[in-house]
Structure 1
Amino acid sequence: MKNIFETFGGAYRQAGDYMVPDIKCPPNVNTGIWGQRRARYLRAEKKVLYFNMLTNGTFNDHLEEIDILAGEMFERLVFQLKREEGLTEQLKATDPLEWVRRMNSIRNRAKKIMYKELICV
């Protein structure tokens, strides 16, 4: 008699003396950098949630959603921080090294905010 896992096309593989479910993560087709970072965090820190999403089939959808949300939020944060600090194209033309230094600082702060608010939750 087949169990529910086998009924839906699941298979088992031999691991030593045990038969374990042969579960593989589907390929991440449309996952960008933010989705990959979220996947890495879930695999390392939230294993139960990670395996639940894998078995439900919602893992890739979740990563795509996080990737889109995070990309939009990151661009919005960078734009707001640039405006608050008065970082303009004029500075870029007159002192490019200072512009790069300040822009890197803004992007690093935005990245930290992203990790705290969206990726590592």
Structure 2
Amino acid sequence: MINDLWYELQGDYYIPCLILPAEKEQPIGLWGQRHLQYLKEYRRITYLNLLTSGRLNAYLADIDKQTEEMFFRLVEQMKQAQGIMEQLKAENALEWTGRLNNIRACAREIVERKIIFA
């Protein structure tokens, strides 16, 4: 053991045995998983820095929480702005569903641009 590292002989060379720091496991939802995929593909250095520092799981859990809150807030604001109430649901469920799906798609696009793919 040199410099508080363990080394293992591989052929003619000693290779350090590196262990990632322990990190508290937190559940990561859909938004966190999507951001993780984005980091792996387009922000490799950021991903590796978070992974090796032991902060990746906490970071993704925080991103997931922020995105979820923003998504639901946007959906509610858009519903109010467009006047989509429970009365419409009772009168014309098909139209209510279509309009709500449109609002969700818009909110999804906004949170993806502002948080997930940023």
Provide the TM-score with structure 1 as the length reference.
0.80
How many residues are treated as equivalent by the alignment? 114
- What does the per-residue CA deviation read over 1:51-75, in whole Å, with 9 as the maximum and x for residues that have no partner? 0100011100100111111111111
1:82 aligns with 2:79: yes
Unaligned runs of 5+ in 2: none
CA drift at 1:2: 3.0
- What does the per-residue CA deviation read over 1:100-121, in whole Å, with 9 as the maximum and x for residues that have no partner? 1000000000000001001111
Give the aligned partner of residue 39 of structure 2. 42
Q: How does 1:68-79 map to 2 (within 5 A)?
A: 68-79=65-76
Q: Select which of 97, 103, 107 maps to 2:104.
A: 107
Give the aligned partner of residue 50 of structure 2. 53
Rounded Cα–Cα distance in structure 2 between residues aligned with 1:37 and 1:21: 31
Unaligned runs of 5+ in 1: none
Rounded Cα–Cα distance in structure 1 between residues aligned with 2:43 and 2:16: 21
When residues 53 and 91 of structure 1 are mapped into structure 2, their CA distance, relative to the original with a 3 A threshold, is: same
Q: How does 1:13-24 map to 2 (within 5 A)?
A: none
For the residue of structure 2 that corresponds to 1:40, the secondary structure is helix
Contact 2:26 2:58 in 1 (8 A): no
Report sequence identity in percent. Answer: 40
Alpha-carbon RMSD? 2.7
**Superposition misfits of 4+ residues, deviation over 6 angstroms:** 20-24
Larger of the two Rg values belongs to structure: 2
Rounded Cα–Cα distance in structure 1 between residues aligned with 2:84 and 2:29: 27
For the residue of structure 1 that corresponds to 2:113, the secondary structure is helix
CA drift at 1:22: 6.4
For the residue of structure 1 that corresponds to 2:27, the secondary structure is coil
Rounded Cα–Cα distance in structure 1 between residues aligned with 2:17 and 2:71: 39
Provide the TM-score with structure 2 as the length reference.
0.82
